[in-house]
């Protein structure tokens, strides 16, 4: 695997800068992270097939019935224990390095983002932050998306944007980490004739707008709005968008209950957002999507596929690792949910529900893409 140089990609004037020593420390942690993910991780399969599974079958005269039984087995294996410990260390320390870098220049970043020209940012200081976000540092990112360390804080956005997504995926999402959005756009454009020119688009759980901006680039005449509950990520997103010359609106709102009018959007999207909420919130969000969509409008959420689509309990376990170790406690429950049932309870008709795999696209140069090795899972529905 070739290590990408994160400092050469995705540049804009809101991003934190690094000196030689800061970059070197961060590069080391990222390389270690990728080594665990790409080189060490495959060894779990051999441990399971040749050690853990034979022990279980000998004792129980059957195979494990689900990922929970497999997890109990793997927790006894030193290989899994050591990898898990190192993986948590790597994840936490990628963000610790980012925290150190951002903290040293936070005043400058705050000032720069506060001076964003022609800002269309809409913040709500009275918005109640849901417990599923306020009670933990998501992904081990200090303060998560919502904590305000200083007045007009942007630390959450700066830490989130600083190279991590690009390096941890080895460039799979493109230099601006927006590959998921382009995959949605390509699939929608080629499969929904009525949505070739959407007039109003909503990105829920937008964080710093990685996957918000491509919708405005592709449909420049559309009004594009990104919402999130975190003011720090939205202040940063607003400056980032303006520095890249893209005019979208960012608004601090809870996707469970927005301030928008009924039947006011043609397309509602999210990318890897639903699993960071809660069981109740997912139902509320889908119901709210239904309220906001115009007749014929489409919602489409990028997620990991449900466990029901994976036949092997071992594969389910490895996809479920984040639930127990990466400060994403809803991950497993989310991927156990019957999404079609959620959509129908939210008001969508069964025959209009979508659960599909779409091609992974990696943006290279403007409007050019490489088809990646893999697919995105999308869940959505068309409003009658």
pLDDT of residue 171: 66
Give every CB contact of residue 36 below 8 A, 6+ residues apart in sequence: 83, 86, 87, 90
- CATH number assigned to the domain covering 1-384: 3.40.50.150
Could you tell me the pTM of the whole model?
Answer: 0.94
3-state secondary structure of 54: helix
Q: What is the pLDDT of residue 165?
A: 58
| Number of helical H runs and strand E runs in the chain | 17, 8
CA 7 to chain centre: 21
Query: Is 44 within 8 Å of 274 (Cβ atoms)?
Result: no
Consecutive H or E run containing 286: helix 279-292
The domain ranges of the chain are 1-384
In order along its 384 residues, the chain shows pLDDT tens digits of 445 555 666 789 899 988 888 888 888 887 888 899 889 999 999 999 999 999 999 999 999 999 999 999 999 999 999 999 999 999 898 899 899 999 999 999 999 999 888 889 999 999 999 999 999 999 999 999 999 999 999 999 999 998 655 556 666 777 888 989 999 999 999 999 888 899 999 999 999 999 999 999 999 999 999 999 999 999 999 999 999 999 999 999 999 999 999 999 999 999 999 999 999 999 999 999 999 999 999 999 999 999 999 999 999 999 999 999 999 999 999 999 999 999 999 999 999 999 999 988 877 655 555 555 678 999 999 999
Report how far apart, in Å, the C-alpha atoms of 84 and of each of 262, 322, 350 are.
46, 10, 40
Collapsed DSSP state (helix, strand, coil) of residue 90: helix
Whether residue 261 contacts residue 182, with contact meaning beta carbons closer than 8 Å, is answered with no
Residues 6+ apart with CB under 8 A from 22: 97, 100, 101
Tokens of 50: 């040749």
3-state class (DSSP) for residue 137: coil
Biggest CA-to-CA distance, the chain: 68
| Residues 138/326, Cβ–Cβ less than 8 Å | no
Dist. CA 110–CA 196, nearest whole Å: 38
Residues 6 or more apart whose CB falls under 8 angstroms from that of 65 comprise 313
């Amino acid at each position: 695997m070739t290590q990408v140089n994160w400092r050469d990609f995705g540049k804009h004037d809101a991003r934190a800068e690094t000196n030689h020593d800061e970059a070197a420390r961060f590069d080391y942690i990222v390389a270690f992270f990728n080594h665990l993910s790409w080189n060490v991780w495959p060894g779990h399969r051999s441990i399971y097939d040749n050690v853990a599974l034979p022990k279980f079958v000998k004792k129980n005269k059957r195979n494990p019935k689900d990922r929970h039984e497999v997890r109990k087995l793997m927790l006894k294996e030193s290989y899994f224990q050591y990898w898990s410990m190192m993986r948590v260390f790597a994840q936490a320390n990628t963000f610790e390095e980012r925290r150190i870098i951002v903290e040293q220049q936070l005043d400058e970043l705050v000032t720069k983002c506060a001076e964003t020209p022609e800002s269309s940012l809409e913040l709500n200081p009275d918005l109640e932050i849901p417990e599923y976000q306020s009670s933990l540092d998501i992904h081990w990112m200090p303060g998560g998306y919502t904590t305000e360390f200083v007045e007009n804080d942007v630390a959450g956005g700066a830490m989130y944007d600083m190279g991590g997504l690009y390096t941890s995926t080895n460039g799979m999402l493109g230099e601006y980490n927006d590959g998921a959005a382009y995959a949605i756009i390509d699939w929608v454009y080629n499969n929904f004739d009525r949505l070739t020119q959407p007039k109003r688009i909503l990105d829920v759980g937008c964080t710093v707008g990685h996957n918000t901006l491509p919708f405005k680039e592709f449909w420049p005449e559309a009004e594009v709005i990104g919402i999130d509950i975190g003011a720090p990520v939205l202040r940063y997103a607003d400056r980032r968008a303006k520095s890249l010359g893209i005019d979208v609106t960012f608004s601090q709102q809870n996707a469970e209950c927005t301030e928008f009018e009924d039947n006011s959007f043609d397309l509602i999207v999210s990318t890897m957002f639903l699993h960071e909420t809660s069981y109740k919130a997912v139902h509320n969000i889908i119901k709210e999507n239904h309220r906001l969509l115009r007749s014929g409008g489409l919602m489409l959420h990028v997620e990991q596929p449900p466990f029901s689509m994976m036949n092997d309990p071992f594969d389910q376990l490895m996809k479920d690792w984040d639930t127990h170790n990466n400060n994403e406690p809803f991950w497993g429950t989310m991927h156990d949910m019957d999404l079609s049932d959620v959509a129908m309870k939210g008001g969508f008709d069964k025959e209009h529900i979508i659960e599909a795999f779409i091609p992974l696209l990696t943006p290279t140069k403007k409007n050019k893409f490489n088809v990646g090795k893999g697919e995105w899972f999308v869940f959505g529905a068309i409003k009658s």
